[in-house]
Each structure stands twice: as C-alpha cells, then as structure tokens.
Structure 1
Amino acid sequence: MAPSTVWTTWGSEVEVRVTEWAALTEAADIVADALAQVQAVCDLGRGDAEIHAVNQAQGTPVRVGTRLGGLIRAALWAARMTDGAVSPLIEETAPGAVPARTPPTFEDIRVDGDTVFAPFGAFLDVTGIAKAATAHRAARRAADDLECGVLVRIDDLVATWGHCPIGGWQVEVGRDATGRSPQVEVRSGSALATARAPAVHAADVDSVPRVTDAGLESVTVVADDGLWAYSAAAAAAAQGVAALRWLGENDLAARVAYRHGSVRTTDAWLHLPPYDHVA
C-alpha cells in the first residue's frame, strides 16, 4: 500500500499518497500550502479573504490578485461548460440592499486582466472550484518536485501525477447495494470526482441547482483534470433522471449509481482502460 497521510482543513478531508516513503511529509506540506494559499483569497468564512471585495462591490469593477482572478476564470469556465449547472453565484442579499429586479447570471460576470466586474446582486463563492483545481495542481507540483508518484484526495475528488505504484492508484467510488465499496484504478495524470445526490458534492459550497431525487445515489466522472471531473460530476447530479444521457452526450467516462442498487456506465467508461473491468 502506498504511504499516505490524512488531515482535515477548510471543511474537507485531505489525503496525500506517494510512491516513496521519504517524500510523504514534503508532499503533504506542498498540498497543505497550496490549499492555504487559495483559502486565503476565497474562503467566505475568513473576514480578510479577497473575494469579499468582489462581493461587496455590487456593480463596481474591482482589481484582484492573480490567484483569485484565476479561480474566478476557472469558475466561469465551469459554468459555461455545464450550461450554468455549476455556477459561482450564490443567493445572498447584502444588509439593507434591495434585491436585484433581474437576478444576475454567470454570463454577467466579466474578468478583464486583473479587473473583475460582478453586477449588482451578484455574490460569488468559488470554494468547490478552488479545491478541485488546487488538488490537481498540487499533485503535479509535488510529483515534479519530489520525482515520485502523488495522489491528492480532497473529499470525493482525486487527482494524480507522476508514476503509479504497483497495482495503480486504487480509489473507492462509493458503496453498492451489497454494502461493498467498488474500486477503480485512476491513471497517473487524470482525476476522478464523485458527486452524491441529493447533496451534489461534499466539498462543494458553490450554488448548484437542486433537482428532484430521481433515485440517484452518486455520479462518478473520470477526466484529464480535477476541475473538469468535479464540474462534470456536479453538473450530472443536477441533471437528475437525465444524468446518464448528459454524461454520454458529453463523451464523459462516468458511472451512475442508483439508490435501488443498480449501476449504469457510459460507453466512454467501458471503453477507457483500466475502467472497463469495473461495473
């Protein structure tokens, strides 16, 4: 079994696995530092987080740092890719403010260089996006710096980089009807994210539309990067009964589990080794 360490930060369980024992402490430090840096600019629970300046501007352009600007761009990209199913906008009203007559959408938010414009009535939360993007970026940095294989898990999102351990990176994808926890092998350089219904994602506090139950238990997506895996899984969960069709139309390698015990997979999941042996 690969050496690993687990801790909790920013409301999430974080796990780091490496292929070399000697690299574990430093790899964990790299991941912890990366998370701390993004948390400092976008954690709504911190009074000094830079994102508050954007939310308080209410129609006035605001200059932001490179890190927050990049996270907002990533969140807008995810919103465009999922037709707004995953959005950085949250429902909130400033004290004493009159609600906007026409609620803003993610398409009303603009980022030009280091300047962000969010219209009146827009409040942003990029927490889930920040964690997903950071997981993959931190895994890559740790693997490159330490010259070993690295897996980073933040709640239900896994990102890998570097060479794999013997037997590959084995990751649980949720319990089935028998109570077992099926595992898949996540290839190096790829990511896996699971969104659970009706709560879309344990690590996510972004605004994702609630949908009718539809009997969904979970949606698991494998993609080339953590941001897209996370966004696609969350968006699919928001599709309800149409989840499997949406995943197939977007050519995603995905597994959909239902509460009554059945599991359905997309063609891309079945034909993308090494996932073809897992139901």
Structure 2
Amino acid sequence: MIDTSRWRGWGRDVVLAVTEPGALGQAEEIVRSTIDVSEAACDLRRGDAELHAVNLGQGVPVRVSPRLSTLLRSALRAARMTDGAVTPVDNRLDAESVPPVHPVPSYLDVRIEGDTVHAPWGAGLDIEETARADTAGYGAALAAEGLECGVLVRIGDTAATAGTRPDGGWQVALPGRNDIELPAGTAVASRRAGDRADDRWHVVTVVAPDAVWADAAAQTALHCEVGAIAWLEQYALAGRLVDRRGQVHTTAAWPDSRAA
C-alpha cells in the first residue's frame, strides 16, 4: 500500500509517497527538512542564501556548507554530461566588456576542493534547477534509508525513487498523458518549452538513473531541435518527446512506445 502527502515547497508542488503508511509522517519531516536546507543554500531570491557569498567572492575562494558543496558538484556534473548545455555559470559580463586578463568564465573554471569553492571573476552561479533535482533524489534516499521503505519524492516535474518497489511499481503522471511505471531507484524529469512558436519540442520527458541526470538530459534535449532523439540515444536514455503538433516521439529505451 502506498500513502502520499502533498504540499507546496520551494516554489513547486511537492509529492511524497511511501510504501509503509506508518512512515509517512517521519518521511515528510525528512523531505521537508532537506528541501528547506537546499533552498536556504542556493535560492538566489533569498537575501540570506549561502550562494550569494560565492557569487560575491569574484575569484576569492569561499568556504561553503557541505550541502551547498554537494549541490554545486551536482550542477557541475550536469554541465559536464551535457557539454555545457546545462550550466551553473550565469555570466554577468559579455565577452566585449571583460578585460583580456579576465577571460569569459565557464563551468570549466569553477573548482571545488572539499568544501571550498573557487568561482572565477565575472561569473555568477545559479544552480536552482539542478539543485531541485538533486534534492528530490537526496530526500528520497535519506527517507528510504532511514525508514527502510520505498520512497518517491517529486518536486515540480522531477521525481526520484529510492528503496523498495511498491506492488504495481511507482506510477508517475507525465504531462498530457497517463502514468508511466518508474523502476525503483530511478528518476524521471519533464521539461516544457516556452511560448515560442519556432521551438520544435513542446515537452520532453527523460527517465535516468538519477534525478540530476534526468533533469539535465530533458533540458538539453528540449533545445536540441532535430538532434534531440539522437542525443538521448547516444546515452541509451529513455525519452519521450512531444512536438508542437502533438506528435509523440520516443527513444528505443522508452518502456512502452505503443502506449506513449
């Protein structure tokens, strides 16, 4: 039996599901605390967000909390795996305004040694999207390990699972269609396009081994235009892409293309 809880957190709808109803209360405490800590670390809309200190450092090493260090590492991993298509670096200065002694920074210039972050001059880090995905996975893992049950955590359009698989599997709703069965220990993320009529894809959904990779892959594929399916296929990712006409395209690894 699956028991669920829903609330609004970090600007998104949060869904928590557990395979042991008696564990729901404790699981919610764990997940709420995890979200609160992550939000305090990197939500730049908050004046007290820890990430502000890193952005104000401008080339000076800054010591951060273990949680922010982990979130930054996840953001850099997403950047490496997508070759910079998903990047934590929001350049404050364009190439023409940067003096020659200060090259335009990229994610490749950000270094983390232990809990000390070295961000280059001219760069502002914004990791909120990947941080939400990381938090979904981290919260699910913490609750599953601590309570010895299966857990699903969904923040916005990214869901992560950990622990035991419930009878019937984890059923996760996708944008504009029925549920998909998510294997235990995996994650799914959906990315939606804006209102630009010339965007090829309306929504992209990706299933991956972890939430950060699922979210980063979905975001990258959304902007890959005609190369999106090939890009997902090279990583053997399960992907479902809906174009502007409503036609559905899937990769070979999608669990049931006939029901897509």
Judge same fold: TM > 0.5, yes or no. Answer: yes
Aligned to 1:182: 178
Deviations 1:44-74 (A, max 9, x none): 1222221111101112222222221221111
2:248 corresponds to 1:267? no
Distance in 2, Cα, partners of 1:122 & 1:103: 8
Q: CA deviation at 1:230?
A: 1.0
Q: CA deviation at 1:278?
A: 3.1
Aligned to 2:104: 103
Deviations 1:95-133 (A, max 9, x none): xxx953443111111122222111121000111111111
Distance in 1, Cα, partners of 2:239 & 2:151: 23
Q: Secondary structure at the match of 1:152?
A: strand
Counterparts in 2 of 1:58-69, with a 5 A limit? 58-69=58-69
Deviations 1:126-149 (A, max 9, x none): 111111111111112212222222
Aligned to 1:53: 53
The one-letter amino acid paired with 2:66 is T
Counterparts in 2 of 1:136-215, with a 5 A limit? 136-175=137-176, 181-198=177-194, 213-215=198-200
Deviations 1:158-217 (A, max 9, x none): 111122222211111111xxxxx2221001111011111138xxxxxxxxxxx9833311
The one-letter amino acid paired with 1:252 is L
Identity %: 47
Give unmatched runs, 5+ long, in structure 2. none
Task: Say which is worse superposed, 44-53 or 152-161, in terms of deviation.
Answer: 44-53
Give unmatched runs, 5+ long, in structure 1. 176-180, 200-210
Distance in 2, Cα, partners of 1:166 & 1:64: 41
Of the three residues 206, 225, 229, the one matched with 1:244 is: 229
**2:250–2:257 contact (8 Å) kept in structure 1:** no
Distance 1:240 1:157, change over 3 A: same
Q: Secondary structure at the match of 2:207?
A: strand
The one-letter amino acid paired with 1:127 is E
Q: Secondary structure at the match of 1:232?
A: helix
**1:219–1:257 contact (8 Å) kept in structure 2:** yes
Q: CA deviation at 1:265?
A: 0.8
> Aligned pairs, how many?
255
Q: Output the aligned Cα RMSD.
A: 2.0
**1:99–1:121 contact (8 Å) kept in structure 2:** no
